[in-house]
Structures are given as structure tokens and as C-alpha cells.
Amino acid sequence: MPKLYHSPQSRSSRVISQLMLMGKLDAVDVICVEIVKNDGSGRRDPKNAHPEGKVPFLITDAGEEIRESAAIMMYLDELFGQPLSPKVGAAQRGEYLSWMTYYGGVLEPALVAQFSGLDHPALVGTFRTMVEVAAQLESGLKDKPFLLGAELTVADLIMASAFQWAPHLTPDSPVVKAWVDRVSAALDSGAMEEFEVKAQQMIKLSEPA
């Protein structure tokens, strides 16, 4: 069984949401770990196999280590028969891959630059800003409920997760806001909350005395 390292209310929560949506949460061994938070609280958990103590982190049945949310989410979708992405070679596969890599390559750096108040020509030159990200989302969502069309894919899960985590940074666009709401509505928020409470309890139980 693949091992997923997870910490509640973090970037690994979207991987749990994906597994729930695919009905595959039981097919993965979720190891709940502590992490160091942005405010300095928490600790690096010795149980976490990630080389820098981050989450998410996945170890496959063959022992291969996978880091980065997008890679982990694509791997899990593929492992379970691609229920949430266009098949390899099918139409829109390229568009899907673009959104998946745009997340880590552009959206996250632009979002972090915005909330930390960083404005440097090198950052803007390399990544652009949330203004361009908002424009891309608006044009990508024109006349369709999800990024690739009628069906929700992993691309929606990862792209919308940024704004579920930081609603105040959601672009001021009715189209983008309605899409974030649609993605949230597709997820089982009750089951997710219950899971996160249990995950937190497991972490507490394993804390050093």
C-alpha cells in the first residue's frame, strides 16, 4: 500500500480530498505527522520521510519516493485508473498537464509573493503576478464549470486548493469565485473535517512526553 505523509490543514489535505473523491482513502496508508508551520509553531516530525520534513510526501509500493503535490496527485490518479484526468494521449491531456505544472510553477510563487508583499522585477519577470493568474483562470473557465470542461479533474482540485486555503487571496472575479465554490461543493467537507480532527488526535497521541 502506498504511504502518504499528511499533516492536517496543510498542502497534503488536498491529497486526502482527492483520495476521498476517488473512494480510495482506504487504499493508501496515511501517516499523520507534525510539521513546522509558517508561524514557527510545530516541529519537524522524525516519522516524516520527506527529506525536508514537508508534506505531502508519498512512498510507492516499489519504495519510490514522490515529492510535490502535483506529482503526488497525478501519480495517485493514474494508480487508480485516472478517474480524474484525461487519459494519456486523449484530447485535453496537454491542457491538463499545463494546469498541473502551472500550479507549482506560477500560481504558488505569485501567491506567496502577493501575501508576503514582495515586488521584484525578477519575480514578476519569471512568474508574473496574481493579476495574470486571475486572467488565465478567467479565460480558462470561460463558458465551462471546470478548467477542462464539464468534468472536475485533479487540475481543479490543486488550482482551487490555493483559494480554499486562503480565501482572501481569491481573485476578485465572479467567474473564479463561482468555480472555487463549485470545486468545494464537489468535496465532502464533513468527512474531511472529521478526518482532520482524527489526524490531529493521532499526532497528539504520538507526541513525545
* Cα–Cα distance, 178 to 196 (Å, whole number): 25
Out of 83, 104, 105, 145, point to the residue binding ligand GSH (CB under 6 A).
104
Is 69 a binding residue for ligand GSH by CB under 6 A? The answer is: yes
Question: What angle, 0 to 180 degrees and rounded to 10, lies between the N-to-C axes of helices 154-165 and 93-102?
Answer: 20
Is 11 a binding residue for ligand GSH by CB under 6 A? The answer is: yes
> Closer CB to ligand GSH, residue 83 or residue 104?
104
> Closer CB to ligand GSH, residue 1 or residue 166?
166
Q: Smallest distance, Å, CB 34 to ligand GSH? A: 9
Contact characters 34-63, ligand GSH, x per CB under 6 A: -xx----------------xxxx-------
User: Cβ-count burial of 40 within 10 angstroms (0-12 exposed, 13-18 middle, 19+ buried)?
Assistant: exposed
Helices (H), the chain: 13-22, 69-79, 93-102, 108-115, 121-127, 130-140, 154-165, 174-186, 189-205
Q: Smallest distance, Å, CB 166 to ligand GSH? A: 11
Q: Smallest distance, Å, CB 33 to ligand GSH? A: 9
Enter the C-alpha cell of residue 151: 468534468
Is 8 a binding residue for ligand GSH by CB under 6 A? The answer is: no
Enter the C-alpha cell of residue 81: 485508473
